[in-house]
Amino acid sequence: MADYDYDVLFIGAGPGGYVGAIRAAQAGLKTACVEARETLGGTCLNVGCIPSKALLHGSELFEEAAGGTLAKYGIKTGKVELDLAKMQAEKDDAVKGLTGGIEYLFKKNKVDWIKGYATFKDAGTVEVAGKAYTARDIVIATGSSVTPLPGVEVDNDKGIVVDSTGALALDRVPNHLVVIGGGVIGLELGSVWRRLGAKVTVVEFLDQLLPGMDGDIRKEAARIFKKQGMALKLSTKVTGVSVKGKTATLTVEPSAGGAAETIEADCVLVAIGRRPNVTGLGLENIGLELNGRGQIETDHDFATKVDGVWAVGDVIPGPMLAHKAEDEGIAVAENIAGLTGIVNHAVIPGVVYTMPEFAGVGLTEEAAREAGHEIKVGKFPMMANSRAKTNGEPDGFVKVIADAKTDRVLGAWMIASLAGTMVAQVAQAMEFGATSEDIAYTCHAHPTHSEAIKEAAMAVQGKPIHI
Ligand code: NAD
């Protein structure tokens, strides 16, 4: 039997790679993880989920204090001022704590961190910083990076045309921020800077925000973000951005073609999607080809076509979400260890962490119909949920989609201040094959936002109580 340095080596220490490496080590495998960044945790912990949530939380507190929500409850704050440097320092602290935590977990589980970029020499060997490492199994978990917009140059250091990394590190509140792309990143980071005082314009190519979410949710998202003061230019494409001094001029035109116009801004955020990180991996050295979307294809076990080479997370098809990558990391480690690792890709929740939050799991109404399901839909507005109403959070609703014949829940979509937390119960119910009746007859604590899920499930049978 061949002699290897490691049983398994993960390339990339984002949620797919670091979680997979820990699980592999737990399963008794000699494990290494290659990561070039100074800190572990990948995009999620360093320049994605975590820092954005720190700024979302901070900016929400600022808006509550400055915007009068606290005053409504008789809390007098005096003049509220923003110390952006402090808010940014708090964000950096959150990132430092969590990335350091992964380093601790690697040590605890005896996962070796090999620092540098890995390039395949053959299917069982990678070279990192001039040194070769062999492993019986190698997992590609290199994640993704920002998709560039042709003709638009991002310069995060200057802070005028930025991507999500730059938008997390601005040292000033822009006067006018134009966000290119009305997806998750655009709306989360657009919300941060709007709350802190920027005028925000979102330019979206499609006729609705939040592609991939249920149609009713997308329609309501446009209404809510407009009400919050964002300007939305839907069905509009950006054809160019030029920068002179501290001013950017965007040229936009209707997506379907038509007269061009210009918009001036002192900050432009390019957020039109992400693409898999495969450059420099030396995939040609192992004969691994990409699909038409630049992704690595795997089978259900996350094995690629090359023996001993596996892939998980944003480099393979599916939603580019940290929790999907984590679950795939665990599954691939278990498969390599000879156990059975499975991810149910039909039940991957998605959340937009604005206020209110937008969340969903399973099929949208449109996808359910397209798949040929005869469906029943139950809806319940947050306005009629006692807790949300009392908290002054009237926006949003819960929508449960069930198969008309079997009553099995096919999907659920929601807008609520706590939607990101609420959606977990539907995901779990769906994993157990729940019907809408199962959810409707599950006792939910009162008063909670989650009761809206129970009521929406009751509405599937036409029998909600509080509306
Ligand atoms: P996205 O795919 O969510 O949205 C990009 C948007 O840009 C789309 O609506 C698209 O129609 C639009 N667009 C594309 N080209 C355009 C153009 N030329 N002009 C105007 N609009 C254009 O991508 P994102 O927001 O950049 O996020 C990237 C990835 O990161 C996503 O896969 C997302 O799931 C993930 N992410 C997730 C979270 C979360 O789960 N909360 C947060 C941040 C990022």
Tens of pLDDT, residues 407-429:
999 999 999 999 999 999 999 99
Residue 274: CB within 6 Å of ligand 1?
Answer: yes
In a domain, 156, yes or no: no
Q: Where are the beta strands (DSSP E) in 12-60?
A: 31-35
Cβ burial, residue 269 (10 Å; 0-12/13-18/19+): buried
Please report the pLDDT score of residue 229 as a whole number: 98
Quick check: 354 and 187 in contact, CB under 8 A? yes
Ligand 1 atom with the shortest distance to the CA of 210: 9
Does one domain contain both 16 and 89? yes
Please report the pLDDT score of residue 1 as a whole number: 47
Residue 451: CB within 6 Å of ligand 1?
Answer: no
pLDDT in tens, 102-157: 999 999 999 999 999 999 999 999 999 999 999 999 999 999 999 999 989 999 99
57 is a catalytic site residue: no
Q: How far is the CA of 184 from the centre of ligand 1 (A)?
A: 5
Residue 149: CB within 6 Å of ligand 1?
Answer: yes
Q: Which of 87, 102, 123, 109 is nearest to 12 (CA)?
A: 102
Q: Are strands 267-270 and 261-265 parallel, antiparallel or unpaired?
A: unpaired
Please report the pLDDT score of residue 67 as a whole number: 84
Does one domain contain both 225 and 294? no
Does one domain contain both 224 and 123? no
In a domain, 222, yes or no: yes
Q: Of the residues 312, 336, 360, which one is the last residue of a structural domain?
A: 336
Mean pLDDT, the chain, rounded, equals 97
Residue-range definition of the domain harbouring residue 452: 350-460
Does one domain contain both 268 and 287? no
d(CA 352, CA 213): 10
Does one domain contain both 244 and 294? no
Does one domain contain both 127 and 64? yes
pTM score of the predicted model: 0.97
Does one domain contain both 419 and 373? yes
State the total domains in the chain: 3
d(CA 265, CA 364): 36
Quick check: 465 and 386 in contact, CB under 8 A? no
Q: How many distinct helices (H) and strands (E) make up the chain? A: 14, 22
Does one domain contain both 40 and 141? yes
**Catalytic hit among 300, 323, 444, 446:** 446
Does one domain contain both 315 and 369? no
Does one domain contain both 141 and 280? yes
In a domain, 24, yes or no: yes
Nearest C-alpha to atom 35 of ligand 1 is from which residue? 320
Does one domain contain both 170 and 262? yes
In a domain, 466, yes or no: no
Q: Which residues of the chain have pLDDT under 50?
A: 1
d(CA 422, CA 418): 6
In a domain, 45, yes or no: yes
Tokens describing residue 183: 């997806």
What CATH number is attached to the domain comprising 246?
Answer: 3.50.50.60
Q: CA of 199: how far to CAs of 33, 123, 129, 154, in Å?
A: 43, 51, 45, 21
Does one domain contain both 236 and 302? no
